[in-house]
């Protein structure tokens, strides 16, 4: 059995082990072997309008800092150096929908991946689903440990829906597990003062923010939305 070399490259980079289909289930073969399709479906779900990894990189390199004058351009260039990854610091991107938070987060993630770091992208809803499923199956510690392996963990869409107490507790445990060990990039449509609306009470919101912000860079996107052609690249985002 031989896997596509490109797929093996992705597997090595992201730290998973490919498994061949069972002989009596040939219909499962090939579903995830093509590298581009795998990345589209498992890592960059909001950027499926690309034909190759180089095409994806080109899209992400086109993020127009000039269109968002509210962003600290010097801070973005500093983040692009990936020093924050080496220091296990966090990046938090705040702003209303459509202004390019996810675009910039993935751009930083791609740079980290190209530098040889393990990267994982999840929207908050998917993260919660995985953690609750693991907790129900008595596999929570194993799942939390797996989420500590990526050097950069991107969590998108914090704030669109409130979390219940179980979800908030799970999120806190993840943040605590990665604290000062590995970087997180978070995007949110709410300012920190409103995170009490996301989490069930101000106490747990404060505990989460204490750990996230202890070593972190915060960038605020304000007002203007990305041009239509940029938004089309991630049209499923909102």
pTM confidence score: 0.71
For the cut 80, the answer to whether the pLDDT of residue 3 exceeds it is no
Report the alpha-carbon distance of residue 237 to residue 232 in Å, rounded: 9
CB atoms within 10 A of CB 64: 11
Helix axis angle for 73-80 and 101-114, nearest 10°, is: 30
Residue located via tokens 């795998």: 38
226 contacts 88 by C-beta, under 8 angstroms: no
- Structural domains present in the chain: 43-233 (3.40.50.300)
Crossing angle of helices 35-42 and 5-14, rounded to 10°:
30
Highest mean pLDDT pick, 22-26, 111-115, 155-159, 198-202? 155-159
Mean pLDDT across the stretch 174-199?
95
Summarised one tens digit per residue, pLDDT across range 188-220 is 999 999 998 899 888 999 999 999 999 999 998
Q: How confident is the model at residue 73 (pLDDT cuts 50, 70, 90)?
A: confident
In the chain, the percentage of residues whose pLDDT exceeds 70 is 66
- Burial class of residue 110, CB neighbours in 10 A (0-12, 13-18, 19+): buried
What whole-number distance in Å separates Cα of residue 171 and Cα of residue 124? 9
Residue with tokens 């449509």: 189
């Amino acid at each position: 059995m031989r896997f596509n070399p490109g797929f093996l490259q992705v597997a090595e980079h992201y730290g998973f082990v490919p498994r061949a289909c069972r002989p009596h289930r040939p219909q499962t073969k090939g579903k995830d072997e093509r590298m581009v399709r795998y990345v589209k479906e498992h890592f960059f779900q909001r950027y499926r309008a690309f034909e190759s990894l180089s095409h994806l990189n080109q899209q992400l390199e086109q993020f127009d800092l000039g269109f968002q004058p509210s962003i600290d351009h010097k801070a973005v260039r500093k983040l692009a150096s990936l020093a924050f990854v080496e220091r296990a610091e966090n990046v938090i991107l705040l702003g209303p929908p459509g202004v390019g938070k996810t675009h910039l987060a993935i751009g930083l993630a791609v740079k980290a991946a190209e530098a040889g770091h393990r990267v994982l992208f999840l929207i908050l809803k998917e993260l919660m689903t995985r953690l609750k499923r693991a907790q129900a199956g008595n596999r929570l510690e194993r799942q939390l440990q797996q989420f500590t392996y990526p050097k950069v963990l991107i969590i998108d869409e914090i704030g669109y829906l409130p979390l219940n107490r179980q979800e908030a507790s799970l999120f806190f445990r993840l943040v605590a597990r990665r604290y000062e060990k590995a970087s997180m990039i978070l995007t949110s449509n709410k300012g920190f003062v409103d995170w009490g609306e996301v989490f069930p009470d101000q106490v747990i919101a404060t505990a989460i923010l204490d750990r996230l912000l202890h070593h972190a860079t915060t960038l605020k996107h304000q007002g203007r939305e990305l041009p239509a052609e940029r938004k089309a690249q991630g049209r499923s985002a909102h």
